[in-house]
Every structure is written in structure tokens, then in C-alpha cells.
Amino acid sequence: MSISDSSRPRFLLLFVDGVGLAPAVETNPFATVPTPALAAALGGALTLERIGAIPGGGLSALDATLGVPGLPQSATGQTALFTGENAPALLGRHVAALPGPRLAALLADHSVLKRARAAGHAVTFANPFTPAYFAEVEAGRRRHSATTLAALASGAPFRDADDLRAGRAVPWDVTGAFFKAFEANVEERLPEAAGRSLARLAGGLRLTLWETFMTDLAGHGRREWTPEEALARLDGLLAGLLADLPNDVTLLLTSDHGNLEERHHTSHTRNPVPLLALGPEAPAFATLTRIDEIAPKILERLGPRQRSLSETRRS
């Protein structure tokens, strides 16, 4: 029996930088800052106590240290997340911030977006970018993040200000306030509206990736991002998203390392990170234990694209 393409799953992967799972104590913003959308989905706050709270999927805890001593970091953690390769073990250490040549090569070869697209699936990186950003990289004044490299490897077109204006993109700060500083004629949006845009986008593709790092900035104690502000925007986005997400889309929310869940210091943690899986494919993700298992599982569940009957007849 063959599976028709219309029954294939769709995934929306929300990569939320710097979010670990910790107990519901007063130093954990996830336990103290109101997050009604998360609470409605989980039956409580995004803390260790909610693991296994939803039967057949829901919340699990993933190891982000990958057997390597020291604090997990963004370049290696994100590479592990988006390639399924144990990047910190390959390099022998956790690498902070932006990938160097070895991690960039790993992302170019093994990006989950690249492999999903090569298998015939429509993929996108939902974050918008400006021409000025690419010009800065071209001029050697900045480097791509692991997420951006994973998206570039796919060859799928990047989203821009026009997509943002048309509700076909969501910036990392959710509302677009940051993006507006670089692009004229961009309206700020409420987090709920941004979430609804993301839901609509994910409904038309097989794999949609969205990235935010406001949570990691808040965890590092950056003045412009309090835990309250970061969580209000994230939860508002989830409210709009969960209200409008088509029922064939499985939402996967995860992170590269802990940080924000311990507000009494400003460094990363070795805590597990959440994998919140909601939707028809959630049970397939309930048994994962490490962040480098997510990409292979997504690819396994997507499978090769099935050819339509007309394509089969032509060949």
C-alpha cells in the first residue's frame, strides 16, 4: 500500500535559543512569568514537572550536552539540532556563537532543510532577512548563524521585507520592531498576529523552521530583553499559532542549550532542553533523548515524497 502525498506529515520547528528545563522554583521565569498559551497546551508551565503530562507525546527532556564536558553552546548545539550530527563530540568541545569552517561544512552537507528538500519536500526558513544583512556577510563584517547556514544549504529562497508585510514571514523578535529599524514600511505586529502568520505558512509546506534568540539574550541578562518581555512575546506567538495551526501540522519546539530557566545567573546551563511536540506526529518524538535525534526523526517521518498519479503515469 502506498501513502499518498496528501497524508504526509507537516512539521513546524520552532527553535527557541537558550531554553532549558528546570524545576518550578522562583528563580525559573517559566514558573513565575504568566505564559497562558503554554499553560493551556501543557496543563502547566514549561518546567521539568510537566514531562509526560500529555499522553502520547507532549513534553520530553532532551540532553544538550551530548557527552561533552563544559557548558553547551550555540554553534555546536544548533549544528547538532539542524544536522543530527554530534557536533560538540566531533570538535571535542562546545563552540559558542557562530560556526567556523568545520561546523559550516557540516551544516552545508547535513542540514535537515537541505535533506528534506532533496527528498522532494517544500521547506522554508520563516524568518525574514534584509539585503543589508547579506551585504554585511559578503563584506566580511558578520558571519551567518548555524540556523541561517542550515537554511542556505537547502537552496530554498530566503524571506524578506515583502514577505513580512504580506504576513508570510515572522522575525526573530516576533513583533518586527528590530526589523523595522532596517526596512522602511514594516508595521509592528502583535505576537498573536505573528503566530497566526506562522500557522498559515506551516500549513502550506512540509517543513517550516522559525528561530528566535530573544530568550537567550534575556538569559544573558541583556538589558533590552527581560525574561518577562521574551516570554510574553513567545507565549503570545504560541497563542496565535496554536489557535490557527492546521491539524496536519506537528509543532516541535526545542532549544540548543539551557540559559533562561535560571535567572539568578547569566550563563548557559547543562540542564536538559524541552522538546514540546504537539500534533499528529507527536508520539513519534516522545522517545527522543538528545537534541541530535530531532533532525533524523523529522526526515524519517517525512520520508521520500510520493509521486502523484500523473507523475507515475508519465514515467
User: Which residues sit at the interface with Zn ion, rule CB under 5 A?
Assistant: 216
Question: Which amino acid, one-letter code, is at 132?
Answer: A
Which residue matches cell numbers 490557527? 244
- With a CB cutoff of 8 Å and minimum separation 6, the contacts of 291 are 62, 63, 64, 66, 77, 80, 81, 254, 255, 256, 273
State which residue, 154 or 255, has the beta carbon closest to Zn ion: 255
Cβ distance 146 to 75 under 8 Å? Answer: yes
298: nearest Cα among 307, 288, 306: 288
State which residue, 216 or 262, has the beta carbon closest to Zn ion: 216
State which residue, 217 or 241, has the beta carbon closest to Zn ion: 217
Provide, rounded to whole angstroms, the least separation between the CB of residue 10 and Zn ion.
30
Provide, rounded to whole angstroms, the least separation between the CB of residue 142 and Zn ion.
17
Provide, rounded to whole angstroms, the least separation between the CB of residue 31 and Zn ion.
21
Q: How far apart are alpha carbons 254 and 19 in whole angstroms?
A: 8
Query: How, if at all, do strands 249-254 and 58-62 pair?
Result: unpaired
State which residue, 173 or 216, has the beta carbon closest to Zn ion: 216
Closest residue by beta carbon to Zn ion = 216
State which residue, 211 or 216, has the beta carbon closest to Zn ion: 216
Q: How far apart are alpha carbons 161 and 167 in whole angstroms?
A: 10
Beta-carbon-side half-sphere exposure of residue 260 (alpha carbons within 13 Å): 30
Provide, rounded to whole angstroms, the least separation between the CB of residue 29 and Zn ion.
15
State which residue, 40 or 97, has the beta carbon closest to Zn ion: 97
Provide, rounded to whole angstroms, the least separation between the CB of residue 219 and Zn ion.
7
Provide, rounded to whole angstroms, the least separation between the CB of residue 272 and Zn ion.
16
Query: Which letter does DSSP use for residue 211 in this model?
Result: E
